[in-house]
Structure 1
Amino acid sequence: MRSSARAAIAAAGAAGVLLSGQAAVQAAPPTAGPGAPGIGDPYYPDYGNGGYDVSHYGLKLHYQPATDQLDGVATVEARATQGLTRFNLDFGLSVSKVTVDGRAAKFTAEGAHELVITPPRTLRKGKRFTTVVTYSGVPSSVKIYGFTSWQRTTTGGVAANEPESAWWWYPSNDHPRDKATFDVSVTVPDGHQAISNGVSTGVHSRNGWTTYGWRENRPQATYLATLAVGKFDIVKGRTPNGLPYEYAIGSDLPADTKANALTSLKRTPEILKWESSLFGRYPFDAVGGTVPNTKAGFAIETQTRPFYSPKFFAKGKPDFSVVVHENAHQWFGDNVSVHNWKDIWLNEGFATYAEWLWAEHAKESTTQAEADKVYNAHPAGDEWWNLLPGDPGAQDPFADQVYDRGALAVHAIRLRLGDQAFFKALRTWQAAKGGGDATVAQFVRHLERVSGKNIDDIVKTWLYTAGRPAVAPGH
């Protein structure tokens, strides 16, 4: 906070073998069974699902802001990675109908967020199949594990949270390992707007309702999909290199908040150009941001269109650092996503360090001064040093230490490698892993291959050892 899609694992079914002078012998078909109810994340074992890989989500939604009523039809295109007698989707709203490849399928809700589907026929390993789920509900009233990630606003609602937000507005294989492309169509009352990820595919009105279409053609993790419905002041245009941008700011926010938000978001193309010089070419086909009138206190890197709480812009001045942070995530978190949620340092450590780099670029500070500030703020013996950025735990993976101590780790690595090797490694990392996911260990190996230098001691000290290191990086 603040891909071609991961390749589907597929294999052809066993084929008949013709032996000379003998009849064809058919090998035994592969064993089929239920897909796992979790993808295998060590922090969140029931997040995501096993047995299939999604390639595309098509969402057709109808939303009434006055009542927070959401009705939807989700078309999920996937490939079976094993023989499937049943499979799960992560979801929390009420489901009325499910089909698999056009035929009615049995379904039931189990556990906190599992939609269990039994197709009319077993799905063989490697088969591409299409699941259509019809559903409805009032997202803000649905509590899972005691909370909802759907935020009511004064004029509508917003889906934005981490590590889970999809459960409240569309069924999915909800884990960053399974990225997919998206088409989102949202019908809302005239006078309201509906904003999602990627590029606009058109707007049309009929009988008092307006439908907005959005398409994200680059692989996107499920938690990075967003929907914001309400009344917004919208600024559109194109960046100097031709990418469409759209900034949406809640129409009923205070005038000074709106002005600060717009001033901040208008710097996005400039910030992205600068970040591209560090991390490589911007990986997506659209730019933007939303600032709904919500009470949330965070920002999040929803792909191509970050979500920002208005609190960032209600301090009497613009906030460029949060724009830097969330857009750095377009590389670290969105283009290359975490393999497991314990790898979250790969997202937050680098987005925070981007803020430090921006402060130096803007001649407001230096990366060394920012590192010293964090180090000196927490003396020896402070419990703050006992949370490990490389393995922060499921209870609080977004603790301050992941961001700030995580950025200290990045600074220490940069100093060891030197700027030429460090930034080359960041750019080649994006080129090598873009559109997919990765672990901390894979990233460390990549840095060492590119630089020819060993950083095991730095990684152990700053990411995996409790207690305050003897000296700050750079001293």
Structure 2
Amino acid sequence: MLLTARPRARRVKAALLTSAVSVCLIAAGVPSPAVPLGVGDRLFPYLGNPGYDVRSYDLAFTYSGTNREPLSAVTTIDARTTAPLKHVNLDFAHGTVRSVEVNGAPAAFTSAGEDLVLTPRAPLPGGSPLRITVRHTSDPVYAEGTDGGWVRTADGLAMANQADAAHLVFPCNDHPSDKALFTIRVTAPQGHTAVANGLPVGVHRGPKATTWTYRTQHPMATELAQVSIGRSTVLRRTGPHGLPVRDVVPTKDRKTLEPWLAKTPAQIAWMERKAGAYPFETYGLLIADTRTGYELETQTLSLFERELFTRSEYPQWYVESIMVHELAHQWFGNSVSPRTWSDLWLNEGHATWYEALYADEKSGKSLEARMKAAYATSDRWRTDGGPPAMPKEPKPGRKISIFRPVVYDGAALFLYALRQEIGRPAFDNLERSWVRVHRDGAAGTRDFQDLASRVAGRDLSGFFRAWLYGTKTPPMPGHPDWKPEPARKASQKTPHKTERE
């Protein structure tokens, strides 16, 4: 995710969430007490659920033609239990649940906090197959007042599920540590086009509506799911090594946006020279006529606001560097997902690093100057947001407030320091090794530290501890003259990023 300095049209109203859940979920006689569970994430303690591992999701949405009505939906989850279970918790914070089946038999269900709690007819043994089918609604009108979920566009819908909003859209195990394959089916009236993560595997055209089916070839975190429904055009081109590249744009803007979209294949080739082969089956940009205040790295189909490409005050180098930021996430954050949300710096620090490196190499915007400016501000960022690998908890009612400057330029500053410390050849080897070793998985700060120490041939734990967990920014290797500014002079925000407000 890249938070950009364009105004945000809506205010966050997540405080409404808990009351809405109890109203919208139809209880079905689950024995009390049903309690919300979580996987122990420090920042989101009730996110995700223990006791099972999801292997795949099958999502089916039916769109009525207006983005002001709930979609009819069916979510099917194939999983495997990792412990004996009397109840199964799913993250699902809004929607009317019409029925639930567990392994083909009707199951009781109720709500608890932001969880949908299921009670199968009989307890489930550990190590057994688990199939859950939930028939429910998915409401874009409600979700737009929160920290994400459905995003209403001028002509339809898109998704923005980071950090923990996928469960506003569909029942799931909503934590990046439990990745799974996805099949997504969308039915919409004639005149609309639906696109989702992965590659198309089927289109069925009826007299009044069309159903599109997409499937991922690599596991994906729930927060990276994407569905676009609108009066759109799909533009296709070829990337490096024959990679299919497809972009989704408002039909009326096709000619205006084409010069920007044509840059993507060369940007992919640039990233491959830095980080290795592109890790997925396709890539492209979803350009939505909406205002969110951010761009988002949804897997294989990154979400961008239309105005990023149409406002004349944004210089070309700036727009291209943002495109590369979201592209870099396909390696760092998507293919290798964070083990916990405290590892967010691995996502945003790397994406910011390659954004800055691209601007340096392609447009002469000095990487060293940007890092020196970040160093001057780093102590203030740490005071306001915590150290890069130990960010402060999100503000009440503003879950997305974990996306602070310290995990963007503050974390990129650490990567610059690491390159200074171990040398450019070792650093470049580390970057490519990281995405190769952990491809299609989840990894955390300790994993990155251990790999860096192996690549460098020495223990870097002290260096990592000081830079990633310290309240003060350590001296910059090779730049003894760099000094942090006094707190009263430091600016909290980088010139091109802002927190959502």
- Could you say which TM-score interval applies, normalised by the shorter chain? 0.7 to 0.9
User: Is 2:421 the counterpart of 1:419?
Assistant: no
Tell me, in whole angstroms, the C-alpha distance in 2 between the residues paired with 1:109 and 1:380.
Answer: 43
Tell me, in whole angstroms, the C-alpha distance in 1 between the residues paired with 2:432 and 2:230.
Answer: 38
Residues 331-382 of structure 1 show CA distances to partners (whole Å, capped at 9, x for unaligned) of 1101111111011111011110001211232142332222123234x38778
CA contact (8 A) 1:233 1:250 kept: yes
User: TM-score w.r.t. structure 2 length?
Assistant: 0.82
How far did residue 149 of structure 1 move? 2.5
Instruction: Note closer, same or farther for the CA distance 1:383–1:394 as it changes in structure 2 (3 Å cut).
Output: closer
CA contact (8 A) 1:39 1:49 kept: yes
The match for 2:187 is 187
* Amino acid aligned to 1:124: P
The match for 1:27 is none
Bigger shift: residues 150-159 or 454-463: 454-463
CA contact (8 A) 2:144 2:152 kept: no
The match for 2:386 is 387
CA contact (8 A) 2:420 2:477 kept: no
User: Is 2:72 the counterpart of 1:71?
Assistant: yes
* Amino acid aligned to 2:85: L
Tell me, in whole angstroms, the C-alpha distance in 2 between the residues paired with 1:59 and 1:287.
Answer: 21
Tell me, in whole angstroms, the C-alpha distance in 2 between the residues paired with 1:379 and 1:459.
Answer: 16
The match for 1:22 is none
How far did residue 313 of structure 1 move? 1.7
Instruction: Note closer, same or farther for the CA distance 1:306–1:220 as it changes in structure 2 (3 Å cut).
Output: same
The match for 2:176 is 176
Q: Percent identity?
A: 34
Residues matched between the structures, number: 438
How far did residue 89 of structure 1 move? 0.9
The match for 1:271 is 267
The match for 1:90 is 91
The match for 1:103 among 64, 88, 105 is 105
Segments of structure 1 that go 5 or more residues without pairing to the other structure are: 3-32
- SS where residue 277 of structure 2 aligns? coil
Highest CA radius of gyration, 1 or 2? 1
User: Is 2:313 the counterpart of 1:313?
Assistant: no
The match for 2:127 is 126
CA contact (8 A) 1:69 1:139 kept: yes
* Amino acid aligned to 2:206: R
User: TM-score w.r.t. structure 1 length?
Assistant: 0.87
Bigger shift: residues 100-109 or 459-468: 459-468
The match for 1:292 is 288
Within-5 A mapping of 1:360-371: 360-371=360-371
- SS where residue 390 of structure 1 aligns? coil
* Amino acid aligned to 1:210: T
Instruction: Note closer, same or farther for the CA distance 1:44–1:309 as it changes in structure 2 (3 Å cut).
Output: same
CA contact (8 A) 2:185 2:213 kept: yes
Instruction: Note closer, same or farther for the CA distance 1:189–1:474 as it changes in structure 2 (3 Å cut).
Output: farther
CA contact (8 A) 1:408 1:473 kept: no
- SS where residue 64 of structure 1 aligns? coil
CA contact (8 A) 2:238 2:265 kept: no
* Amino acid aligned to 1:404: D
User: Is 2:453 the counterpart of 1:448?
Assistant: yes
Residues 269-327 of structure 1 show CA distances to partners (whole Å, capped at 9, x for unaligned) of 21111111211211111111101111111011110111112232233254111111111
CA contact (8 A) 2:381 2:410 kept: no
Residues 217-255 of structure 1 show CA distances to partners (whole Å, capped at 9, x for unaligned) of 2010000011111112321132241121111122356x8
- SS where residue 361 of structure 1 aligns? helix
Q: Which structure has greater helix proportion?
A: 2
Bigger shift: residues 65-74 or 97-106: 65-74
* Amino acid aligned to 1:126: G
CA contact (8 A) 2:36 2:112 kept: no
Tell me, in whole angstroms, the C-alpha distance in 2 between the residues paired with 1:359 and 1:158.
Answer: 29
Tell me, in whole angstroms, the C-alpha distance in 1 between the residues paired with 2:144 and 2:119.
Answer: 25
CA contact (8 A) 1:176 1:221 kept: yes
User: Is 2:341 the counterpart of 1:341?
Assistant: yes
Tell me, in whole angstroms, the C-alpha distance in 2 between the residues paired with 1:300 and 1:148.
Answer: 11
Instruction: Note closer, same or farther for the CA distance 1:393–1:186 as it changes in structure 2 (3 Å cut).
Output: same
Instruction: Note closer, same or farther for the CA distance 1:473–1:230 as it changes in structure 2 (3 Å cut).
Output: farther
Residues 34-84 of structure 1 show CA distances to partners (whole Å, capped at 9, x for unaligned) of 997211111111111111000000111101231332111111000000011
Instruction: Note closer, same or farther for the CA distance 1:202–1:418 as it changes in structure 2 (3 Å cut).
Output: same
Residues 356-410 of structure 1 show CA distances to partners (whole Å, capped at 9, x for unaligned) of 211232142332222123234x387787676311111221321012101111100
Tell me, in whole angstroms, the C-alpha distance in 2 between the residues paired with 1:114 and 1:366.
Answer: 47
Residues 80-125 of structure 1 show CA distances to partners (whole Å, capped at 9, x for unaligned) of 00011111111121110111111111111221x2111111121110
Segments of structure 2 that go 5 or more residues without pairing to the other structure are: 3-32, 395-400, 481-501
- SS where residue 216 of structure 2 aligns? strand
- SS where residue 362 of structure 1 aligns? helix
CA contact (8 A) 1:35 1:84 kept: no
Instruction: Note closer, same or farther for the CA distance 1:267–1:379 as it changes in structure 2 (3 Å cut).
Output: closer
CA contact (8 A) 1:413 1:455 kept: no
